[in-house]
Chains A and B, each alone.
Chain A
């Protein structure tokens, strides 16, 4: 056959049709395979967008189905499977010194206005005692932010961390609207941070920031890979922040105290923030009963007031 322009175009169209056909069928086949056994989920995969698949390898921790996880956009070295990271924050020990916030800001070279772990002054009701509440990202197991992200710039890793990729984020801020914990920050202007390293963007370190993207606490996976505590937990002078692996059932704080996660939470009536929303946070709080340190001034508004305080 002589290759004329016309025949060339025809064969091009045929190839395109064949390709798109197989691309349309493959996810369906994957879907069918996935129905048995594992939890089916709609995910975006690196090899194919819009794909239907199932979460083969994710252990359902604590009976929680990760029905809305998205697959990581690319292979990550330290998404150590078998780990399920958890944090426990003992509110009775927190004295509101904000060392955790500062350590986080230093570790990630955070631009002004961003606090990935923010210490709130809380008071639950009129008669309630005021207390300090450090709030990192809860790394929710049913993460509202992940569900709404249109481009998989944020997704749930197998080790429980809700990751954030600022090289993919399109800055729609839907995740910020969806997060009930105000845990996300946006780079409204060109971030100018003194000492910000001049290195290529490494997602797990997250020290390089760029305008127009959303960021948040990611439990310092780069430090975890080195066997260290996240910056905030390591910096807390009161040892109020415990961190560890749910699988090992052990958590450790900055004082080197290692305790059983299940016992710590059960014995102290641990709870999770806004449990009623069903976000299944991976951060547990121990109530501020008999606080060891002075609480914030009692003038603090009730938690629902939502007033700006600077």
Chain B
């Protein structure tokens, strides 16, 4: 039986339309993503053929980009199910249009995150040993157990609330392509929207929402224990569990914001995902960012105060040595700036800023350019200024000028940010995720480069880690794979829950009205 069109509101029709094909842009994007993913597969083939020697990993730094990806993807996976569970349990109504896209992030990034240790294995052909000879006392086994539990749990958590919508699709595509019909018929589990079915669905959703929270927390805790269970400087920490969980929540919440913006734009969901959603999610990102900042501060300040001998090398490398630029980028670009971008534009004095002459775009940009030139001049060795001044003073002056200029530009941009809150939130959340990836890298690599015994007699190129094209290809392939899974999901199932958003609209009107 075909649905009568007028059963759906215009915005629902738009969501349903997103399930059908796509424009040339869509196919171009899919083509690029498939290409990148295939390239990653080829790179993995090379690694399988020639061994892990094709990576930059060596005896001293034996973990690198793959483990970074692992921690990153598992982190991103975090918020989907966890946030959605908390919002469901607390009855936050505004959650309804975004829970599904959040939960689907969990699903897609868990799949990619779970692949990464496999890619990192020296002997993937012996994977079965983990089952045949698995030792429960190894944190790797804990990881396997908790990640598979989380994958099962979060898949159910994504699927169960989707059943009424799938039943709707089953009826709607009754005359559609056979594969769709079969898929929806199988997945709808005979949903008719009866009173009993509704009760069971709600009970299942409630139970899952409660169960998923401790599982999600456990997942990132044991991921952090892969590092924290060793004695190494920088990893030997008791707060790694909560530190990683908070970092995961922060990056995951930012990923949800990015996804909201992308789907809102691509599927024209402006009526579902409003500015209000970005504001509320922004608050969440700010709060989680502050918690993460607190743990990060603890994690570096406590050892830096004590400067224990075996931690010195590591701290110096991170705070002022070869990793300093990356580290401070993750702190300023990946934490401070996004939080500022989400908070400052809301200040009531921002509209007045636009009237200050010095904060007009032109003087601000001129100031930034001038300070950039100054910084370059100061760093370039043969400059006449450099000859007259002490290099240290010069560098301090250049850095100071640069900082002031960037602050200036930031303040000058605030009115613009206020006018375009969604774009601002998106920029902030992308920054958070780029910063999050590099932060994982800065947690893993410097520690391995600063072992207890000095790195000596390492063959040429073994002392310092530089990722190779194979590692980057696989990394980008994994990101492409994540996006592919996510996009395909959004083409198979409505990315916004139709029955849950309708429920609020019509005061208790529910799915079976749609699906019967």
Contacts and interface: CB of A to CB of B under 8 A. Distances in A.
A185 B117 contact: no
Contacts of B460: 310
Given A178-B230, A310-B457, 5 more contacts: A112-B459, A190-B51, A213-B122, A310-B458, A310-B460
B230 A309 contact: no
A118 B457 contact: yes
A169 B130 CA distance: 10
B335 interface: no
Contact of A150 (B63, B140, B449, B459): B140
Interface string B119-144: 01111101101101111111111000
B456 A121 contact: yes
Contacts of A211: 51, 122
Given A151-B130, A151-B134, A182 B230 contact: no
Interface residues of B, number: 57
Q: Secondary structure at chain B's binding surface: helix, strand, loop or mixed?
A: loop
B135 A150 contact: yes
Contacts of A168: 126, 129, 133
Nearest to B314: A306
B310 interface: yes
Nearest to B449: A306
Contacts of B312: 304
A83 to B, nearest CB: 25
B135 A44 contact: yes
A186 B62 contact: yes
A308 B59 contact: no
Interface of B: 50-53, 57-60, 62-63, 117, 120-124, 126-127, 129-130, 132-141, 226-227, 229-232, 309-310, 312-314, 448-460, 462-464
Interface in A293-310: 301, 303-310
A274 B121 contact: no
B453 A49 contact: no
Chain A, interface residues (CB within 8 Å), range = 35 or more
B133 A49 contact: yes
Contacts of A44: 133-135
A151 B314 CA distance: 31
B50 A148 contact: no
Interface in A110-133: 112-113, 115, 118-122
A84 to B, nearest CB: 23
Given A178-B229, A180-B451, A310-B458, A185 B137 contact: no
A41 B129 CA distance: 21
B121 A171 contact: yes
A309 B456 contact: yes
Q: Which of A186, A306, A308 has the most CB of B within 10 A?
A: A306
Contacts of A50: 134-136
A35 interface: no
B141 A308 contact: no
Contacts of B455: 182, 306-309
Contact of B313 (A113, A153, A305): A305
9 contacts: A73-B133, A170-B122, A171-B123, A176-B59, A211-B51, A212-B122, A306-B455, A308-B455, A309-B463
